Chain A
């Protein structure tokens, strides 16, 4: 946890606290990644005498307390969780600033023994900062139960500091940690960078002031262009020296295609990986096999990673698009619903209700085909024959196969590698690298992903990511129906669809990045080992996602169908279709019934896609699609995909980005979607 500590604040004894804290001769600062049990350890060290206050100039809380260690009074400070001394957030900046401004302290790094690589990334930076350091490897029991064995003796020798395994919640290791604190010393271990970086550091270090943080760490911050350290340096470094630092930074940056922050992080990670591998082993499981390691390397290789990615996508397409959307949908829709559910519900209703108006209201008049009457349960817009059939017979089998494929990717460890591969591609497209994560998540659910856009550093980045998610990233349910439809299209039509979306994503993202002011940031993601997926895990994860889908989507499908039924019954649908026909029929050359798909697409985009799927299902399955039909399907899919997001996503945009930005996005997306659809229609017809 961060410094928004769960440790209780004692408001009653302020004077006592002050006296105790002021009397303390030495200070210990607790630093660590978020969620590593830092606050629990702080509570165990300090007991009840704590104060919680905002760090000056921020809303970030830090907790201070007193402890008696080795018979002497100590002042203990709990900092907000951080992954980096090169801050990416206000919390991280506060932690770095505390280390920078405090004097004569001992730093206690609290780390999660289960996530040693992440711990060591921060240890490397604390070593560079030359602060007296003790490493508390917390949650040692959980690491052990997972078969992770960390050789803390060897790790201590390599780092040149004391490493103490702890279980803070049980106070295990606490006395050893307290005994080691007075002997804390700076770690001589350093992540080694390449010759160019080391040479630049050697030039910059002598120009920097000594302080709470060592010169090497300050030099790293200055070289990566950390703006948050600028004020500190400006106040302490001569102007000529600042200019020299900028000059060295520019010369070094010119040597790499990536940002210096990324370059240094990558090299630091490589050093940490070597240390990690030397001190960690897994009980009962050998290290990844040679073939496994080669496969893992191949999956993120700049060149070979692309055919690897293509092969993964092809297999996923065969599984979702052909098996899920073809075989399973056909069985559920035609056999289960067509031959059993619809006739059974019809028969049951006719059996238990008296014949007449009420029965017709529920299941239509006897002898009339389902598609030609307006029964509320069974009918053209019936809750069972349409709402339930869309949700259960069309979308469910497709999202199920999609979720299975997604869980396999997730459990195999390939998903983060996919993010890395797409990250590289996105960076070439002028997009921020970190944006990859919400984009990948958007393929699951755009609403969830819009919320995740908070991880972006600047407002500019958050706006771009939100816009692209709303515009061109189809969610899992919609993607699944799209796959089902594109499976029946020719290669040319498929290329038109994919090409249009890719072009829109690239152009809108690139233009927005150019137009909006601000800076980008880097994408650093820890890659777990590539492993064989566990059948049990896939089963549980898929079930969990299906439950979530059914709870969220199915009620909206029924509400949408009810809305359609009401509109149809009272003539509203005909009016809307008439009103939209200049655009739907005139501009897009689509059948006028497609208007209802667009209207309800606002409720859920996959609902609209499912409607289109059903409209073209016959020729798609029979393989009798003409070019004109293919144009209609492609235009409809492009327009629906680019169309204004579903209602949940739209509300999330309003809430997260504000009414003005949200409405501006909607005002842009609506005409843009129809405009692009019309352009695709014209170009495809020209070619045909």
Chain B
């Protein structure tokens, strides 16, 4: 089973915003278990969903941005 988390994603290629649910790696892939690659329903571009360290980094950067904005 794909390990894609159901949340809003934006395609880095065409900019299309979509719901990641059901857009994960197809079970036909022998390495689909635990795979976080999502496929844009608009243009077909695939990219790994942010998770683990990357998600932690994203949260940290967002927090720093918000702090910077509120300080300004």
Q: Footprint of B on A, CB under 8 Å?
A: 33-35, 81, 83, 112, 114-115, 118, 139, 142, 410-411, 415-416, 419, 437-438, 441, 444-445, 447-449, 451-452, 454-455, 525-526, 528, 536, 539-541, 543-545, 547-548, 551-552, 647-648, 651-652, 655-656
Contact A441 B46 (CB under 8 A): yes
Contact A415 B12 (CB under 8 A): yes
CA distance A543 to B48 in the complex (A): 10
B17 CB-CB contact with A under 8 Å: yes
- The 0/1 profile, CB within 8 Å of A marked 1, for residues 28-47 of chain B is 11110011110101111111
Please name 20 further chain A to chain B contacts, defined as beta carbons within 8 Å, in addition to the given A139-B17, A547-B53, sorted by A numbering.
A34-B41, A35-B18, A83-B42, A115-B16, A115-B17, A415-B13, A441-B45, A447-B29, A452-B44, A528-B14, A536-B61, A540-B54, A541-B50, A543-B53, A545-B48, A548-B36, A648-B31, A651-B29, A651-B30, A652-B30
20 A-B pairs in the complex with CB atoms less than 8 angstroms apart: A33-B42, A34-B41, A35-B16, A35-B18, A115-B16, A410-B12, A415-B12, A441-B44, A448-B46, A451-B26, A451-B28, A452-B44, A455-B44, A528-B15, A536-B58, A539-B61, A540-B58, A541-B47, A548-B36, A651-B30
CA distance A27 to B68 in the complex (A): 52
Residues on the B chain within 8 Å of A541, using CB: 12, 47, 50, 54
Contact A416 B14 (CB under 8 A): yes
Contact B29 A526 (CB under 8 A): no
Among B13, B15, B61, B65, point to the contact of A540 (Cβ < 8 A): B61
Q: Contacts A437-B44, A438-B44 hold; do A142 and B52 have CB atoms under 8 A apart? A: no
Residues on the B chain within 8 Å of A551, using CB: 34
Contact A451 B29 (CB under 8 A): yes
Distance (whole angstroms) from the CB of A525 to the closest CB of chain B: 6
Distance (whole angstroms) from the CB of B11 to the closest CB of chain A: 10
CA distance A35 to B36 in the complex (A): 20
Residues on the B chain within 8 Å of A452, using CB: 39, 44-46
Among A411, A444, A451, A544, point to the contact of B50 (Cβ < 8 A): A544
CA distance A441 to B48 in the complex (A): 12
Most buried by A among B39, B45, B49: B45
B interface bracket (residues with beta carbon within 8 Å of A): 35 or more
CA distance A406 to B62 in the complex (A): 22
B57 CB-CB contact with A under 8 Å: yes
Residues on the A chain within 8 Å of B47, using CB: 541
Q: Contacts A35-B19, A451-B39, A452-B44 hold; do A543 and B30 have CB atoms under 8 A apart? A: no
Distance (whole angstroms) from the CB of B10 to the closest CB of chain A: 9
Q: Nearest A residue to B41 by beta-carbon distance? A: A34
CA distance A569 to B23 in the complex (A): 45
Distance (whole angstroms) from the CB of A560 to the closest CB of chain B: 15
Residues on the B chain within 8 Å of A536, using CB: 58, 61, 65
Residues on the A chain within 8 Å of B52, using CB: 547
Q: Nearest A residue to B25 by beta-carbon distance? A: A451
Contact A114 B50 (CB under 8 A): no
CA distance A552 to B52 in the complex (A): 15
Residues on the A chain within 8 Å of B49, using CB: 544
CA distance A540 to B47 in the complex (A): 13
Contact A526 B48 (CB under 8 A): no
- The 0/1 profile, CB within 8 Å of A marked 1, for residues 52-71 of chain B is 11100110010001000000
For the complex of A and B, the 8 pairs showing the least CB-CB separation, nearest first, are: A544-B54, A655-B28, A455-B44, A536-B61, A543-B54, A548-B48, A35-B18, A651-B30
Distance (whole angstroms) from the CB of A224 to the closest CB of chain B: 21
Residues on the B chain within 8 Å of A552, using CB: 31, 35
CA distance A77 to B44 in the complex (A): 27
Contact A411 B54 (CB under 8 A): no
Residues on the B chain within 8 Å of A410, using CB: 12-13
Residues on the B chain within 8 Å of A139, using CB: 17
Among A114, A411, A648, point to the contact of B29 (Cβ < 8 A): A648
Contact B44 A142 (CB under 8 A): no
Q: Contacts A34-B42, A142-B17, A437-B43 hold; do A652 and B12 have CB atoms under 8 A apart? A: no
Distance (whole angstroms) from the CB of A114 to the closest CB of chain B: 5
Distance (whole angstroms) from the CB of A138 to the closest CB of chain B: 11
Q: Nearest A residue to B48 by beta-carbon distance? A: A548
Q: Contacts A438-B44, A441-B46 hold; do A548 and B15 have CB atoms under 8 A apart? A: no
Residues on the B chain within 8 Å of A451, using CB: 25-26, 28-29, 39, 46
Distance (whole angstroms) from the CB of A43 to the closest CB of chain B: 15
Residues on the A chain within 8 Å of B41, using CB: 34-35, 81
CA distance A547 to B16 in the complex (A): 24
Residues on the B chain within 8 Å of A441, using CB: 44-46
Contact B28 A540 (CB under 8 A): no
Contact B45 A114 (CB under 8 A): no
CA distance A545 to B31 in the complex (A): 16
